[in-house]
């Protein structure tokens, strides 16, 4: 079946509404939207909370979210459509992006996998299922490094590619965190990798975050487990 722009918009919004805690989502109480429980885990939660999935008016939910997303367009979707005409959506290895020209990008904002801490394919299995994407195939293409040395080897090549595509005086914001119970602070390695590629490090912003529902679910409540802060390293290409 062929999709038009409206079909793709509806699918995008529906993907965002698959799971969550409130009535604004399609699900009953589950993990927050950035993660999806396995079916077995959700069954256990349903039993523990004595909850049963009730009917949700998916059309109304999609319309409500659409209105929120479109609130700045004064009911005229044309500006958004115009943006879509020149915007690009590409997937692939960040170490090799031939579709991007040399010295063509003013700003890159990115966050790589933090070693092997997060299982991205498992967290997104429902989104993959909903959109007909093979989650196992996606998992094979995601860098999951077991050691800092392996991670640095991959990220070094990423930085070289970032340097190639970045304009003179362009910026790269590279977000990482601390891992291994806070013993490994990835920004310390990122600074050296960026400089080696030719960037100038302008600074590091550290955000010590408040714990969320997701963090408490995983038992992260004492600033010692998991990833407890965001560390954004800002680089500039000076020549």
Shared domain for 218 and 152, answered yes or no, is yes
Residue 71's pLDDT is 83
Provide the number of structural domains found in the chain. 2
For the cut 80, the answer to whether the pLDDT of residue 220 exceeds it is: no
Shared domain for 110 and 71, answered yes or no, is no
Residue 228's pLDDT is 57
Contact between residue 148 and residue 178 where contact means Cβ atoms under 8 Å apart? no
Please state, in angstroms and rounded to a whole number, the distance separating the CA atoms of residues 93 and 101.
Answer: 16
Residue 144's pLDDT is 79
Q: Which pair of tokens denotes residue 145?
A: 């490094």
Shared domain for 110 and 209, answered yes or no, is yes
Residue 224's pLDDT is 47
Shared domain for 67 and 114, answered yes or no, is no
What is the rounded average pLDDT of the residues 1-18? Answer: 90
Of the two residues 94 and 119, the one the predictor is more confident about is 94
For the cut 90, the answer to whether the pLDDT of residue 213 exceeds it is: no
Contact between residue 164 and residue 197 where contact means Cβ atoms under 8 Å apart? no
Residue 35 domain flag: yes
Shared domain for 180 and 114, answered yes or no, is yes
Shared domain for 80 and 12, answered yes or no, is yes
Cα–Cα nearest to 190, from 97, 118, 112, 100: 112
Would you say how long the chain is, in residues?
A: 239
Residues 163-208 pLDDT 10s: 999 999 999 999 997 776 667 788 899 999 999 999 999 999 988 6
Residues 45-104 pLDDT 10s: 888 888 888 899 999 999 999 999 888 776 666 777 787 788 888 888 999 999 999 999
For the cut 70, the answer to whether the pLDDT of residue 33 exceeds it is: no
Shared domain for 69 and 151, answered yes or no, is no
For the cut 60, the answer to whether the pLDDT of residue 219 exceeds it is: no
For the cut 90, the answer to whether the pLDDT of residue 108 exceeds it is: yes
Shared domain for 109 and 164, answered yes or no, is yes
Residue 193's pLDDT is 96
For the cut 50, the answer to whether the pLDDT of residue 223 exceeds it is: no
What is the rounded average pLDDT of the residues 211-221? Answer: 47
Residue 225's pLDDT is 47
Residue 16 domain flag: yes
Minimum mean pLDDT range among 11-25, 137-151, 207-221: 207-221
Backbone angles phi, psi at 168, to 5 degrees: -60, 135
- Output the domain CATH number for residue 160: 3.40.50.150
Q: Which pair of tokens denotes residue 239?
A: 């020549």
Residue 98 domain flag: no
Residues 137-160 pLDDT 10s: 888 888 777 888 999 999 999 999
Shared domain for 111 and 212, answered yes or no, is yes
Residue 133 domain flag: no
* Domain residue limits at 50: 5-86
Shared domain for 113 and 215, answered yes or no, is yes
Residue 32's pLDDT is 67
Cβ-Cβ contacts under 8 Å for 233 (sequence gap 6 or more): 173, 174, 175, 176, 187, 190, 191, 194, 201, 203, 204
């Amino acid at each position: 079946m062929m999709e038009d722009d409206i079909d793709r918009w509806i699918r995008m919004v529906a993907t965002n509404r698959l799971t969550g805690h409130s009535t604004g989502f399609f699900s009953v109480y589950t993990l927050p939207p950035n993660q999806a429980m396995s079916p077995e885990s959700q069954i256990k939660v349903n039993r523990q909370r004595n909850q049963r999935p009730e009917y949700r008016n998916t059309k109304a939910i999609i319309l409500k979210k659409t209105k929120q997303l479109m609130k700045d367009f004064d009911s005229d979707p044309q500006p958004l459509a115009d943006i879509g005409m020149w915007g690009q959506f590409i997937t692939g290895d960040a170490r090799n992006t031939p579709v991007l020209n040399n010295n063509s990008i003013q700003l890159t904002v990115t966050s790589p996998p933090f070693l092997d801490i997060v299982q991205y394919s498992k967290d997104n299995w429902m989104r993959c299922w909903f959109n007909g994407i093979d989650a196992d195939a996606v998992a094979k293409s995601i860098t999951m490094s077991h050691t800092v040395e392996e991670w640095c080897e991959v990220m070094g090549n990423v930085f070289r590619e970032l340097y190639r595509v970045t304009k003179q005086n362009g910026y790269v914001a590279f977000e990482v965190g601390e891992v291994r119970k806070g013993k490994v602070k990835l920004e310390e390695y990122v600074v050296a990798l960026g400089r080696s590629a030719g960037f100038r490090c302008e600074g590091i912003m550290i955000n010590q975050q408040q714990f969320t529902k997701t963090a408490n679910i995983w038992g992260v409540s004492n600033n010692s487990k998991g990833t407890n802060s965001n560390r954004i390293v800002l680089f500039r290409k000076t020549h």
